Structure 1
Amino acid sequence: MDFRKEKDVRRPDLIVPYQEPARSNEGGEFQSTLSSTLPMAAIFMRNRYVGWAAVAFSVQTWLGESEETKRSNSSPGYFSVGMSIMSLIVTYLPLFLPPGANLQQGSATGAPAPAPIPA
């Protein structure tokens, strides 16, 4: 059976042109909220995984913002990327500056240790 010889059954009067659907801002608003909230959560919880998620979400939001969201947002997209990188630095800071290493048992100017009570 040869398919090339068949008659074309498509009718040009039934063709409907493609119309792009209207965009909704609900997804962008949620993504913007998430990209600004996750860095704070990473700093408060000191969780590295949340910090990496914050970087991923903020870069995705920054690269996906449109002209309309640029006009409506008060802060630019690269600000949230900077905040997420800062939260990542804060979460990794205890690896390089351990919190207990800076504390000393006593100081030279402090009061002397209490003397034992004689029995």
Structure 2
Amino acid sequence: MDSKQEKDMRQPDLIIPYQEPVAKGDNVEFQSTLSSTLPMAAIFMRNKYIGWAAVVFSLQSWLGESEETKKSNSTPGYFNVGMSLMSLAVTYLPLFLPQAGGPKGSATGAPPPAPA
């Protein structure tokens, strides 16, 4: 028997059409929460790496916003981007505005001599 003459064994009544899965909102909510809390963590801890991570996460959440997300969120995506850029500026602020007192003694050094 020739391969071209083989009978097609597929049955049209058993074909199931493709249905797109329903998107879950949990992932978007977590990303939104992360993009709004990371800038605060960067400001409080003065950590540059957390500041850069805040910028990346906020840009991702802003660019990934859908129409439903825009309606449900109270703060717009560009606000989170601005907040993360401000946190990054705060973490780099000591480079441009050093403290006036200069370096102080360490806590592990010898204590000063007692007055007589």
Sort the TM-score into its range (normalised by shorter chain).
0.7 to 0.9
Which amino acid counterpart does residue 45 of structure 2 have in structure 1?
A: M
Which amino acid counterpart does residue 47 of structure 1 have in structure 2?
A: N
Tell me the percent identity. 73
1:3 Cα deviation after fit: 5.9
1:24 aligns to what? Answer: 24
Aligned-pair Cα RMSD in Å:
1.8
Report the TM-score, using the length of structure 1 for normalisation: 0.76
Report the TM-score, using the length of structure 2 for normalisation: 0.78
Q: What is the number of residues matched between the two proteins?
A: 101
1:76 aligns to what? Answer: 76
2:10 aligns to what? Answer: 10
Asked which structure has the greater CA Rg, the reply is: 1
1:97 aligns to what? Answer: 97
1:10 Cα deviation after fit: 2.4
**Gaps spanning 5+ residues in structure 1: where?**
105-119
Name the SS of the counterpart of 1:35 in structure 2.
helix
**Gaps spanning 5+ residues in structure 2: where?**
103-116
Map 1:29-68 → 2, pairs under 5 A: 29-68=29-68
1:18 Cα deviation after fit: 0.8
Once residues 3 and 78 of structure 1 are traced to their aligned partners in structure 2, the CA distance between those partners, rounded to angstroms, is 61
